[in-house]
Structure 1
Amino acid sequence: MSQAIPVVTENKRWLILTHAFNMDGRAASLTITDKIPYLLEAGVEPIVFSAITGMKDKRFPHYQFLAWGPAGFRFDFRHWIANQYGRGLFYKITTRTVSILLAPLIAIEKLCLGYSSQWSWALPAFIHGYRLIRSGKVDVVFSVGSAWSAHLAGVWLKKATGVELISEVHDPLVIRKSPVDQGFERPKNRDARFRHYLENQLTRFSNKVWWFTEGALHYAKVRNPNLNTPNNAHGFVVTPGAEPPGSLAASKKHEYTNQLNLCHFGSLANDRSLSTILKALVPLFNKYPQARQCIRVHAYGAPLDTLSIEAIKQFAFEDILLAHGRLEKDLQTGKSGRERVVEKMQDADVLILLHGNDEWCAEYIPSKFYDYLWTGRPIWGITHRNPQLDQMLLDRGSYISPEGDAQAVASTLEKIWLDWQNKHLIEPVWKPIGVDQAVKTILTEVQAR
């Protein structure tokens, strides 16, 4: 159900700092770009600063800046070349040449600073933002991270000009190591140490700051008791949601075929690996030999992780796990990568949601979850220490397994197999979460001065 968006009647001119913007299919970009239509509807007059990695927006002033550091320049340049010329021979030659030329400078940058590659994007964002604010063209600075360079630029602008600063933290800036770790220990890694510092700066200098999970807000409060106290930031939780891309047919009827297709979308890593499912297939195939001819696991959007590759070799599952890579824009049909992804999601029998096994899962919900909710397909969530995510899955009718419990994963997989054989897979409850509710929460909080 659509949410009524509050109208912004004052302080309408928002400078939005976001490294990723208008990048097809990128979660860090979609989280902000999906909000834009609702912000415009509410009366916000945006000016966007982003990297050159996405397409330039024509609806409002949109300035794209290269990162000034060599590692950030290389990262942005690769994406810009891919957008302009595709990932063919020209892309390979130019990006490799630039990487070779920049290698000595990147080594020096890493040795001297040790920060993540996009840090230096904060420099042009700050300088150009300072000029706009001083010329009276900005009422509010809105820093958006994923890449923490946007938050760094936002804090700098707040300190230099006193402008109102609101901040959206996508992923926890401080990564805890265990359930008893509160995140107070000074990290040895220089990038982690700086993120620890930056979290404290946001809680001190932002007017409003929000996180995407209850766990993330909880631990941020533990580390920063000044949060939600007078003269410091007001912190709260926003459920980001997602928009149905293009002409998504949410009511598309599921059709059973002669194959059970388990599909995963998004990034993979050794701590978020399809090997968990491949290992569970072994006892299933022993118990139901016919299942080997019917079950296929599909991976879209990212290269396979090391553990999945090893499991494929170990169990001879080359025909079971099919890696399709990233779906880009189709020049023949004109469909965006995001639209093609949703089509594949709706072709799935069950959608796999791998949460991971790190402690930070208690503060994190995969953004792909919100896309999954629009497809009308059952979700199999393999989750770790996140009651909020578990409850959201249960409320919508899902298969759930605790990560790290091999027996539970195998039992859930067997249930999915039997349900599919009986043509009685879980019918999910239609409760998608749109972006309108996120914008309503943000504008309500921001205008409660």
Structure 2
Amino acid sequence: MDGRAASLTITDKIPYFLEAGVQPIVLSAITGMKDNRFPHYQFLAWGPSAFRFDFRHWIANQYGRGWFYKFTTRTVSVLLAPFIAIEKIILGYSSQWSWAIPAFLRGYWLIKSGKVDVIYSIGSAWSAHLAGVWLKRTTGLPLISEVHDPMVIRKNPDDLGLEKPKNRDARFRHYLEKQLCKYSDYVWWFTDGALHYAKARNPNLNTPGNAQGFVVMPGANPPIEDGRQPHRYGKYLNLCHFGSLANDRSLSMILRAAHTLIGKYPEAREFIRIHAFGAPLDALTLEAIKRYDYPDLLIAHGRLEYNPTTGQSGREQVAQKMQEADVLILLVGNDEWCAEYIPSKFYDYLWAGRPIWGITHRNPQLDQMLQERGSYLSADGDESGIAKTLERIWLDWNHKQLINPVYNPIGVDQAVRTIFHHLHI
């Protein structure tokens, strides 16, 4: 899917796998484009809630988001509503769980046909790992698993995630993590923190007869072929955020800092612009815009899709906008699991060669990577510190002395080498 982090993490590896002689057979949802370089099977999930989600994306890809999209998706939502309610009452799982059923059935047939040597489950969506465990247990083929986001969400720094959650979806993810640590031959996470807490919950990890676990930094391929463009100071100080927003990952903290800055430097009101790309604004940000009367200070651009006029993909447009920024905002969030997570957008930011303002939460690995490359750094929840950092950025911009970051991007090639090293390929 164009611009989707979970999809890019997969597709960026494919050229390296092909070069190494790996012949992939891909099983995926129907929400993305079909890859013609190898067998690629796309499935609708069988549950009603996931069917509704997939159907919306499929219609949008085929016909756009005009009147036909609105009519068909609303009709399907109304027809499926009672079945979705029953599904939630009986199971209580997140919507995508049922994709594992068609993936397992096709995977089992491919394995029995002698076309598969290794099962490779890749998840943001945990249904991929569920299908992988089912296939491993029924066929005995080697299983390798790539866990994008922590499957167990901890509550506080002292919580290891040992207690079984009350929420049924969270409880199943807790169970599924144990299955991966037991039945996978190899399993990897994207941060040191994620591996640390997974090992704390699953002491059998990295013991004989169980999964061998390690860390792979996913990195990113250069998003455009033209390379970096030189930075030019313009009329406005452009602070740009790319990616999803929520109440726990909100631009409202930037607006509060801007309000403090404007109180000290009133002229800043005319020159600061905050740009949000890739997602609707969260409720806290909308509330802050209204409270401070900043409708022109924060500009929401929404999601950048494929442009048929220029032929640019959404990813290419995003890369261009990143290079036009004065400073790139990296919001990690303030939930406890953010200590185990590095936003995939960070790796794209590194290719842009622009200074990053990271606002992080108890994540020493990410902090170190930001500091090594020359960045502005704040701690989530430290309003005074965030305001001081924005003031520093404002003064640096005024003197045309913004941080010149160390250009040291992290490519996908190192991720593939790490995987091959551990798998002895």
Tell me the TM-score normalized by structure 2: 0.99
- C-alpha distance in 2 between matches for 1:392 and 1:47: 35
- Give the structure 1 partner of residue 225 of structure 2: 247
Moved more, 80-89 or 424-433: 80-89
Name which of 53, 63, 88 aligns with 1:85.
63
- Give the structure 1 partner of residue 81 of structure 2: 103
Alignment of 1:257 with 2:234, yes or no, is yes
Deviation string, structure 1 residues 114-137 (Cα, Å, up to 9, x no partner) = 111110000000011011111111
Contact 2:224–2:319 under 8 Å retained in 1: no
Name which of 306, 309, 313 aligns with 1:336.
313
Q: Determine helix, strand or coil for the equivalent of 2:24.
A: strand
Structure 1 residue ranges, 4+ long, deviating more than 3 angstroms after superposition? none
Q: Determine helix, strand or coil for the equivalent of 1:45.
A: coil
The AA in structure 2 aligned to 1:129 is G
Alignment of 1:195 with 2:173, yes or no, is yes
Name which of 297, 303, 328 aligns with 1:351.
328
Name which of 24, 38, 49 aligns with 1:71.
49
Q: Deviation of residue 447 (structure 1)?
A: 2.3
- Give the structure 1 partner of residue 271 of structure 2: 294
- C-alpha distance in 1 between matches for 2:352 and 2:64: 29
Alignment of 1:303 with 2:280, yes or no, is yes
- C-alpha distance in 2 between matches for 1:310 and 1:283: 17
The AA in structure 2 aligned to 1:295 is I
Alignment of 1:398 with 2:375, yes or no, is yes
How many positions carry a matched residue from both structures?
425
Alignment of 1:143 with 2:121, yes or no, is yes
- Give the structure 2 partner of residue 58 of structure 1: 36
Name which of 192, 204, 216 aligns with 1:238.
216
Deviation string, structure 1 residues 163-211 (Cα, Å, up to 9, x no partner) = 1000000000000000000001110110000000000000000000000
- Give the structure 1 partner of residue 294 of structure 2: 317
Name which of 252, 257, 273 aligns with 1:280.
257
The AA in structure 2 aligned to 1:142 is Y
- C-alpha distance in 1 between matches for 2:370 and 2:65: 37
Contact 1:248–1:342 under 8 Å retained in 2: no
- C-alpha distance in 2 between matches for 1:419 and 1:246: 28
- Give the structure 2 partner of residue 15 of structure 1: none
- C-alpha distance in 2 between matches for 1:425 and 1:31: 31
- Give the gaps of 5 or more residues in structure 1: 1-22
The AA in structure 1 aligned to 2:345 is K
Contact 1:140–1:165 under 8 Å retained in 2: yes
Q: Deviation of residue 324 (structure 1)?
A: 0.6
- C-alpha distance in 1 between matches for 2:370 and 2:305: 29
Name which of 399, 402, 413 aligns with 1:425.
402
- Give the structure 2 partner of residue 215 of structure 1: 193
Name which of 115, 122, 125 aligns with 2:93.
115
Q: Deviation of residue 246 (structure 1)?
A: 3.2
Deviation string, structure 1 residues 5-39 (Cα, Å, up to 9, x no partner) = xxxxxxxxxxxxxxxxxx00000100001000000
Deviation string, structure 1 residues 352-389 (Cα, Å, up to 9, x no partner) = 00011010011000110000000010000001000000
- Give the structure 2 partner of residue 388 of structure 1: 365
Q: Determine helix, strand or coil for the equivalent of 2:357.
A: strand
Q: Determine helix, strand or coil for the equivalent of 2:10.
A: helix
- Give the structure 2 partner of residue 174 of structure 1: 152
Alignment of 1:440 with 2:417, yes or no, is yes
Tell me the TM-score normalized by structure 1: 0.94
Q: Determine helix, strand or coil for the equivalent of 2:267.
A: helix
Q: Determine helix, strand or coil for the equivalent of 1:110.
A: helix
- Give the gaps of 5 or more residues in structure 2: none
The 3 A distance-change label for structure 1 pair 248 and 198 is farther
Name which of 17, 40, 49 aligns with 2:18.
40
- Give the structure 2 partner of residue 271 of structure 1: 248
Deviation string, structure 1 residues 245-266 (Cα, Å, up to 9, x no partner) = 232422x100001100000000
Alignment of 1:361 with 2:338, yes or no, is yes
- C-alpha distance in 1 between matches for 2:298 and 2:208: 54
